[in-house]
Amino acid sequence: MACGKTAITLGSPADFGPEPGMTYVVNESCIKCKLMDCVEVCPVDCFYEGENMLVIHPDECIDCGVCEPECPIEAIKPDTEPGLEKWLEINAEYAKVWPNITVKKDPPADSKDWEGVPDKFKKFFSANPGTGD
């Protein structure tokens, strides 16, 4: 090396694993409630509509967090909370196949009846797409 300097190789970012990121996910609480207050505040339109719930596309979410407090049933959480790995996978999978939704619609007429009901994913989840915008 010229001038007596020593080169130091630190490696590439790939050598250290992916940089941790964060996104928000929609969880089981949304199933059959499908309130859409979150949709109208999202600045990047990263919500996708299933037949009976919404999901967030993790690669489109900018982690701004404005949607989380808008959900009255607390169905939106940061993926950094323990136990949400399954929901990150579900959100990622269905955001690829369900239509994008950018306009708030009315919730199902019986949505209040489903608030707080346990085990909704196992009993009531539908992989069918919604109608989108």
- First-to-final CA distance of the chain: 61
Residue 67: domain span? 21-105
Beta-bridge partner residues of 47: 56
User: For 52-97, what is each residue's pLDDT tens digit?
Assistant: 999 999 999 999 999 999 999 999 999 999 999 999 999 999 999 9
Q: Which of 36, 34, 23, 30 is nearest to 84 (CA)?
A: 23
Please state the domain count of the chain.
1
In a domain, 14, yes or no: no
pTM attached to this predicted model: 0.83
User: For 111-122, what is each residue's pLDDT tens digit?
Assistant: 999 999 999 999
Question: What is the average pLDDT score of the chain?
Answer: 88
Query: Which position has the higher pLDDT, 41 or 14?
Result: 41
CATH of the domain at 74: 3.30.70.20
Q: Give Dmax over CA atoms of the chain in angstroms.
A: 77
Look at residue 9 and tell me whether its pLDDT is greater than 50: no
Residue owning tokens 């080169």: 7
In a domain, 132, yes or no: no
